[in-house]
Structure 1
Amino acid sequence: METNESGDPWQNDDAFPFIENESGTGPTAPSIEAAKHSICQQLKKHSCYDLLSVSSKLCVFDTSLLVKKALAALIQHGLQSAPLWDSTNERFAGMLSVTDFIHLIYYYYHHSSYEEALEEIEILKIRSLEEIERKIQAPHRKIDYIHPMKSLYEAARIMSENTLHRLPLVERDSDNNEMIISVLSQYKILKFIGANCNDKLRLQRTLQELNIGNYKDIVTARVDTPLIQVIENFKTHRISAIPILDENDRVLDVYEKYDVMLLAKEGAYYDLEVPVAVALQRRTESFEGIHTCAVTDTLYSILETIKRVVVHRFIVVDSPESNKLVGVAACSDILSYLVS
């Protein structure tokens, strides 16, 4: 299994809380379902607050902030999303994410001239993004959040049922005033499972055997695929990454949603006919790399990897030697399976 170390500012390994395991030290039953049940019981015993680091940072954007300033801040801090605050109504207002910038680029490419796009983006505020998303008929954004004292199991279920990668933790005081506490990610819950749930030892079956991930009709691209086609696939299929393959279906690279943020920062709203290989050259040195796993790797070994390094998805290949694409398994697929 190939992995790359990464310094995700949301995930500090040194600060990650290790909670004493209550489920034993080894496999006590052959049943996969028994292992899942035990893991869910562990998640029910601990609150979202338990996963907060003693010291951490949180970026929150007011909805009156210019989009270009919010984008610069996200890239500067290596973030893919941030909570929003409506200062007029003094309320939590959802999340600003990479998906918003995909919609932005898509809108300006299809509905505006380059000059108009550059002029509008200079004055565009976060609160105006909803209007743009209505114009391109993007799905209506839901404002999901959870109280920090709710269980990790409840948070995992909300993420799974609403296809959320991150879930804000929002607290209300006695006067019903809201306060944004932090943001919980799917990865962090999976890391908790990998670090604290020894019942994962029972999960000695492969991702494909457990039907975790996608192994049919995978959206892919070639090095010469136009960038606009990749962006439209993000919007149409609501996926977070597209493997880049050679003529023999070997994995060469992955184009991720996060890469689109760099396009938006550069104002590349019309230079979208270039091959995706050219677009990949815009990546910063902080790119965490491709995480692959062999089709023979088990769910247990995957959770062990997640415990050690920051991973958002695994590109499943037939073997490390030939590196041919078999499937894609995201953290959302793994978490959904464990709490289903």
Structure 2
Amino acid sequence: MQVRISDGTLTEVMPRLSEAELQVSRHRVSGFLSTHTAYELLPESGKVVALDIDLPVKQAFHILYEQGISMAPLWDFCKGRFVGVLSASDFILILREVRVTFYMQLGNHGSNLTEEELETHTISAWKEGKAYLSRQIDGRGRAFSRPLIHAGPNDNLKDVALKILQNEVATVPIIHSASEDGSFPQLLHLASLCGILKCICRYFRHCSDSLPILKVPICAIPVGTWVPKIGEPIQRPLAMLRPSAPLSSALNLLVQAQVSSIPIVDDNDSLLDIYCRSDITALAKDRAYAHINLNEMTIHQALQLGQDSYSPYELRTQRCQMCLPSDSLHKVMERLANPGVRRLVIVEAGSKRVEGIVSISDIFRFLLG
């Protein structure tokens, strides 16, 4: 909205949201999610991919790449149940320096991860080594050996969303068993916040007036991670990298900063690309993982692996989904509800200078807060 001030010029006035309006909006979203179930997330047709826990790591790596997915539930044939997930984060950990400790624990005293080792070591062996690593790294065995986080088709959407947020996972398998003891489980779907957000947007699309919060610009609400203005305290720095930075820098940031993506920018901090955890699967192409040096390969080169044609430093709008600080929360939510979109980079109009980033998780923490 624009208003004219005394000197005759126009200035932007950001809509304000009262605490009462915020609580009303949150209550209505929570009410909707509590009365709808995970069953509504199931598509009319589709496929789900699960991996046998005795599958070699190398084969699993290639399956994720070929199927275009970043994670898959793990099936233990001996136990007759799903026991965990294998994700892009696992491959990031495998390819980083911590792999040395892992393979020493398994009796391999070499310092390089070879293609032969990927071929012979199973997912099960990796998961055991990962649990050992977690104890060595933080002394607490942090949640790496936790049971599978899953939901049933009759669980309400609010509970599913909270499971994803509280356990810091990207998806929750929807598993159904007709037996009381949970035997013969069926994997129905992989629920994500994107699917739940799509339900919210569809439900409130024609009655947005009932959610006053939807009209407020994202710059006016505490959501996302922002580049601090001059004089503002730094709450959580926004990680950004240049395309010439080594791939090892990106992988280290993804793990240490506990983020799922990193904007790739030029010298003026204008957006060029984005590196996500799921991009690690591109290293399966032509077995690149077997002969690369993480400190020598640049982020730009790593991103090119998954592209047949990519002009240097050309912004790929399909990958780099953007929004403006002035965009309404409703517009941001609608964009995030699109398949494959998990975050939006907040940029300055014209220059595409990065000002922040907002993810689906940020939206749900705000709405359910």
Shorter-chain TM band: 0.7 to 0.9
Task: Output the CA distance in 2 between the equivalents of 1:161 and 1:63.
Answer: 25
Contact 2:336–2:344 (8 Å) recurs in 1: no
Q: Which has the higher contact order (CA 8 A, sep 6+)?
A: 1
User: 1:239-254 maps to which residues of 2 (within 5 A)?
Assistant: 239-254=259-274
Looking at structure 1, the residues matched to 114 and 132 of structure 2 have their Cα atoms a distance apart, in angstroms, of 15
Q: Partner residue of 1:208?
A: 219
Q: 1:71 and 1:32, CA in 2 relative to 1: closer, same or farther beyond 3 A? A: same
1:65 equivalent to 2:55? Answer yes
How many Å separate the matches in 2 of 1:290 and 1:150? Answer: 33
Describe the shift of the 1:248–1:222 C-alpha distance in structure 2 as closer, same or farther (beyond 3 A). Answer: same
CA 1:132–1:107: 2 relative to 1, 3 Å: farther
1:278 aligns with 2:301: yes
Task: Rate the CA distance shift 1:309–1:264 in 2: closer, same or farther, 3 A.
Answer: closer
Identity among equivalent positions (%) equals: 26
Output one character per residue of 1:102-154: Cα deviation in whole Å (capped at 9) or x when no partner: 1111147655444x522211112111122332454364323211111010011
RMSD across aligned positions (CA): 2.3
**C-alpha distance in structure 2 between counterparts of 1:85 and 1:109, whole Å:** 24
1:306 CA drift (Å): 3.2
2:178 is aligned with 1:155 = no
Measure the CA separation in 2 of the matches of 1:134 and 1:146.
Answer: 23
Deviation string 1:179-235 (CA, Å, 9 cap, x unpaired) is 322210111111111111245452112223221111141111112211111111111
Is the 8 Å Cα contact of residues 72 and 86 (structure 2) preserved in structure 1? yes
Q: Map 1:25-64 to 2 at 5 A.
A: 31-64=21-54
- Equivalents in 1 of 2:120, 2:156: separation in Å? 41
Larger of the two Rg values belongs to structure: 2
Contact 2:246–2:298 (8 Å) recurs in 1: yes
Q: Which residue of 2 aligns with 1:17?
A: none
What letter is aligned with 2:62? A
Cα pair distance change 1:108/1:120, threshold 3 Å: farther
Task: Say whether the 8 Å CA contact 2:194–2:339 is kept in structure 1.
Answer: no
List runs of 5+ in structure 2 lacking aligned partners. Answer: 1-18, 102-109, 227-235, 310-315
In structure 1, the gaps of 5 or more residues are 1-28
* Residue of structure 1 aligned with 2:200, choices 182, 188, 193: 193
Asked if the contact 1:249–1:324 (Cα under 8 Å) also holds between the matched residues in 2, the reply is yes
Aligned partner of 2:170 in structure 1 is 165
Match of 1:305 in 2: 335
Matched, 1:232 2:252: yes
The Cα shift of 1:325 comes to 0.9
Matches of 2:158 and 2:150, distance apart in 1: 14
Runs of 4+ in 1 over 6 A off after TM superposition: none
Residue 132, structure 1, aligned to residue 129, structure 2 = yes
* TM-score normalised over the length of structure 2: 0.78
Separation in 1 of the partners of 2:27 and 2:170?
22
Q: Which residue of 1 aligns with 2:361?
A: 332
Write out aligned runs for 1:313-324 (5 A): 313-319=343-349, 321-324=350-353
- Amino acid in the other structure paired with 2:327: D
Equivalence map 1:49-128=2 (5 Å): 49-107=39-97, 110=100, 112-114=110-112, 117-128=114-125
Give the whole-Å Cα distance in 1 for the aligned partners of 2:50 and 2:246. Answer: 34
TM-score by length of 1: 0.84
AA in 1 matched with 2:264: I
Contact 2:195-2:337 within 8 A present in 1 as well: no
Change in CA separation of 1:305 and 1:252 when aligned onto 2, cut-off 3 Å: same
* Deviation larger for 129-138 or 155-164: 129-138
Counterpart-to-counterpart distance in 2, 1:308 and 1:134: 35
